[in-house]
Chain A
Amino acid sequence: MKTLIKIGVLLTVAFLYACTPESGDMNAEKVEAIRIETEELPELSIYNLPAKWTNQDGEEIELIDLRGDVVVMVMIYTTCRAACPRLVADMRNIHKNVPEENNKNVKYVLVSIDPEVDTPEMLKAFSIENQMNDTDQWTFLRGTESDTREFAAVLAVSYKQISPIDFSHSNIISVFDQEGVLAHQKEGLGVDSKETIAAIIELSNN
């Protein structure tokens, strides 16, 4: 709730700044944003998690900043050479198969399970290498070890460091609705993404 109030305040400030004569259209949008954001979060929303994350551009964000879009999420680490490339390919494939019209309301988020190694620079390089830098739909996040563990617990993603450079982790792609509530999960690699895509399209039509 505290976070909400803080965000409400931030948005109000943003609103005041936006309140210049030439931004008449903006104002309506901002008012709408304020209305949505100050509504109480569902209890099962991941936006209740108070953690702060850093994205591939070195900017600090909170998960709640993603509120309002459908969010497709996966946990990876960039030095992974075994399953992660396939998992990343699955994400790209899902993105490609969601119609552009829907994709406007969708964010694709890759969260690092190896925050020590995955600096914003590493994440940025990874996004470029994997052609996930063409739109602002792709977000890469790293947090503290404890916040990452908590986040994985919410997603029911298991992971364990098995050597200085390798992790085992479960391959789960999760879809969240506009309020951050888990709507769909698919486990496995290179599995049929049809259901995941259908879930994304259905949610983003709303």
Chain B
Amino acid sequence: MFSRLIFFIAFSLTQLLVFGQPENMALIGSGTYVPLYGDDSIRVEVQSFHMDIYPVTNAEFEVFLKESPEWNKDRVIALYADKNYLGQFNEKGDLLPDANPNAPATNVSWFAAKKYCEFQGKRLPSLDEWEFAAMADETTPDARTKSTYNEFILSWYETPRTFSKDIGSTFKNYWGIYDMHGLVWEWTLDFNSVLISGESRKDMDKDNNLFCGAAAIGASDLMNYAAFMRYAFRGSMKARYSVRNLGFRCAQSLPDN
């Protein structure tokens, strides 16, 4: 474990020297993990990438709306956003007085989140990247077996209105990023890669008729109840939905060597 840490630090430093660090982003090291949907034979490899240290805030999204007014709620087309879109903003894209500028930007559809990141020269993180980065607690890259880690997440799920808190008000994880758990849930680029249909009971029966290939969700780690909740939530989402406790952050691939 210790040698892995040393290796990672050396690796990070090299990365920093070679590429520099984009502002307000942290480097997430490469690694593998067994995601919830596969069995133990499916280890997913995640390449190093940069990830925003914080979720995108209301204030930051307001700036984006000024620069891209076609994403204001009076102009966005129904294909890209439902009627809950930008509930905390007015028609002109001004944040309403009772909303917290430093809270994560929520009520944002997947299309709008994707566009926001592209506008910054970034992209949404993939589901595997997000889950990989989110396995960490303060001190370890994979804390999923720790009871403290799981208890923290589950107690958050029971806490109301965390979406209106300031960014940075939860813990800084092993990779140097905040708020992966504790404030809002976040969009991922391929949120629709989770094979849970609207009627999740059908999936429990593993109705393979609905899916090509047999890798429909067959939770590899049912102890990981917190992650299971996230996957189920994503599976129920559509790209035009806007939800009060669903925000996002952006990521960036490392330049090719």
Q: What is A's interface to B at a CB cutoff of 8 Å?
A: 43-46, 48-49, 76, 80, 82-84, 87, 149-150, 152-154, 156-160, 162, 166-171, 187-191
Contact = CB atoms under 8 A, between A and B. Distances in A.
B63 interface: no
Given A160-B193, A171-B211, 12 more contacts: A46-B79, A48-B79, A84-B212, A149-B192, A152-B192, A154-B239, A157-B192, A158-B195, A160-B194, A162-B38, A168-B215, A189-B210
B68 to A, nearest CB: 14
A187 B210 contact: yes
Contacts of A159: 192-193
Given A150-B114, A154-B239, A170-B195, A162 B215 contact: yes
A149 B190 contact: yes
A167 B212 contact: yes
Q: Report whether over half of chain B's contact residues are helix, strand or loop; otherwise say mixed.
A: loop
Contact of B111 (A150, A187, A190): A150
A154 B78 CA distance: 11
27 contacts: A43-B77, A44-B77, A44-B79, A46-B79, A48-B80, A80-B212, A80-B213, A83-B211, A83-B212, A83-B213, A149-B190, A149-B192, A150-B114, A153-B110, A153-B192, A158-B192, A158-B194, A158-B235, A160-B37, A160-B193, A162-B42, A169-B195, A170-B197, A170-B210, A187-B197, A187-B210, A188-B210
Nearest to B207: A188
A77 B38 CA distance: 21
Contacts, number: 92
Contact of B215 (A76, A80, A160): A160
Contacts of A189: 209-210
B112 interface: no
Contacts of A170: 195, 197, 210-211
Contacts of B114: 150
B192 A156 contact: yes
B216 interface: yes
Nearest to B193: A160
B212 A87 contact: yes
Nearest to B208: A83
B214 interface: yes
